A and B are shown apart, each in its own frame.
Chain A
Amino acid sequence: MIKGIKYHFSVAVYYIKLSVLKQLEYSLGILGTIIMIPLIYATGILLLYFMVENYQALGGWTFPQLAFLYGLGYLSHGFMMVFSVQNWWIGSYVIRGEFDRMILRPISVFFQFSVRYFNIIGLMDVVVGITIFLYACRLVEFQWTLINIMNISLIICGATLIRSATFTIFCSSAFWTKRNESIVNLLNDFMERTTLYPISIYPNFIQVILTFIIPIAFISFYPSSYLLDKNVGLQIPINMALWVLMMGLGMFFLSKAVFNLGLKKYESAGS
């Protein structure tokens, strides 16, 4: 068991090392993206500010609270971009036969796929996300107790897992359709609108879907409400942070199953 973990760990570390080295070779040509995307997200917050300034607190959420939600949501987005952006390219992998090489190696294909890319550009999102989040924490006077630190850590882990798993599940459709682009765009926009803004602005049935069908509300909305002591009508039997982590793990295993299903299709139909 220990040997297995050590083995997988050393393989993962080396995959990540090679991935980083490879990206450093091509440091040109991404300056535009590296500046612009985080900048757009940073100004998303600014626009919220203008709205609240000119109108009122949105759905009972003051600007500091909105910023807190936004920052927390953006953070898990950043980590997802760093660790699992390769989900977006499943279609391209299928067409180019990249999975063949992974199938030929004596280690789980899902594992290889999950650790092979450490997206350096995503670190920009993480940095901006942390900045926005810490700024919002100051605004809401968030208490950095030991318990809260643990809460935040668990929530971010769980939220990142939920995000990654959701992408894996939907992008695995590329094993059948061989195309990813449109579903990635759709899912990205969907997630943006449901994790950077409070979902309480949407009608009830949408909130129900986002809670019980695809647990996106657990990425930022419920955790934020919990940490900000806002009552949102959802009773959770245990600590919210633990719940988010459990949802994350559950989604993770589901995504592994879906991915492997897609891989089976690939292995019976070729490319």
Chain B
Amino acid sequence: MAIIEVENLVKEFKVQKKKKGIKGSLSSLIKPERVVVRAVDNMNFSIKKGEIVGYIGPNGAGKSTTIKMMTGILYPTAGTIRIDGISPHKDRKQVVRNIGVVFGQRTQLYWDLRVGETFELLKRIYNIDNDLYEENINIMNDVLDINSIMDTPVRQLSLGQRMRGDLAAAMLHSPSILFLDEPTIGLDIQGKSAIRKFIAEINRIKGTTVILTTHDLDDVEYLCKRLMIINKGKLVEDGALQTIIDKISPHRYLIVDLTKETRELKHPLAKTVKQEGLRFWMKFNRSETSATKVISELLKNYSIKDFSIKEPEIEEVIREIYKR
């Protein structure tokens, strides 16, 4: 059952081109030159209830623009978005009642006041009845230890604590969809781990659908069975993480340790990409050959002390995709 449906989504911006120098600024004042930029170019996808989807792309690819359109902050130029069957453009209040949004770099908590004060405000805005409110606070306490920061002024919180506060605030009204925009940015390992555990837990307990924008690929590896990659306004990859990796980077690495100095390690289907003393890194295409085949060939001609197989780095794959 698709909870988010996006069809032929387009977003265009009119941007003013600034010209150089004094003459340029003067002419910009009189006759500004406007260029149309396509930030989102015909995107199509649908997300099922309960999925945790990773949404990645280089800066300026159109990630936050798409998120803003899905959450009703921006209007699409063309195309449709349906959140649980409703268009956020046409029925804003209905849609936002059911979603939670966390921006990694901005907080919705009142900076100078206790965390609890913002919660009380949200309770009234979302019209959450007392029982549900209590229940959700308890869940937040189990998963995020929220009671320990309830009475602390937000400006005294560490980044990790503030993020916990924002996540709890976003979940107070039991939204069925959670949009997280770079929730682990700037956090230390412990902090990131806590956030990831939260996302996994909330998805498990409440079946919350999660759209996670991030630059941290560990987030993706840990949480997302499905990955959407956006570049230059287009959806370039959409599917299970492993499938994408296999598709883009069918290479494997063989790390070979030799017993004695050798100038080069030769194999018709495996290329040496790096060499450090007695250790060689060899790259081969999985569709052409296999690790066992390469090793058995090499064993014939070289004295090998040890070897290991290395999967392509997810980072490398992503970088490859961004380059296109």
Contact = CB atoms under 8 A, between A and B. Distances in A.
Contact of A18 (B14, B72, B74, B121): B121
Interface stretch (A132-140, A176-184, A187-195, A263-271): A263-271
Contact of B73 (A11, A21, A103, A107): A103
Contacts of B72: 103-104
Contact of B106 (A15, A97, A106): A97
Interface in B15-51: none
B13 interface: yes
Chain B interface category by residue count: 20 to 34
Given A25-B112, A268-B75, A10 B124 contact: yes
Contacts of B92: 103
B113 interface: yes
A96 to B, nearest CB: 8
Interface residues of A, number: 23
Contacts of B124: 7, 10-11, 14
Contacts of A264: 75
Given A101-B108, A104-B72, A270 B121 contact: no
B75 A100 contact: no
Contacts of A267: 73-75
Given A14-B124, A104-B73, A270 B112 contact: no
A45 to B, nearest CB: 36
A100 B124 CA distance: 19
Contacts of A55: none
Closest 10 CB pairs of A and B: A106-B97, A25-B112, A106-B93, A268-B75, A22-B112, A100-B73, A11-B124, A267-B75, A106-B96, A103-B73
25 contacts: A10-B124, A11-B121, A11-B124, A11-B125, A18-B118, A18-B121, A22-B110, A25-B112, A97-B106, A100-B68, A100-B73, A101-B106, A101-B108, A103-B71, A103-B92, A104-B71, A105-B125, A106-B96, A106-B97, A107-B93, A107-B125, A267-B74, A268-B74, A269-B13, A270-B74
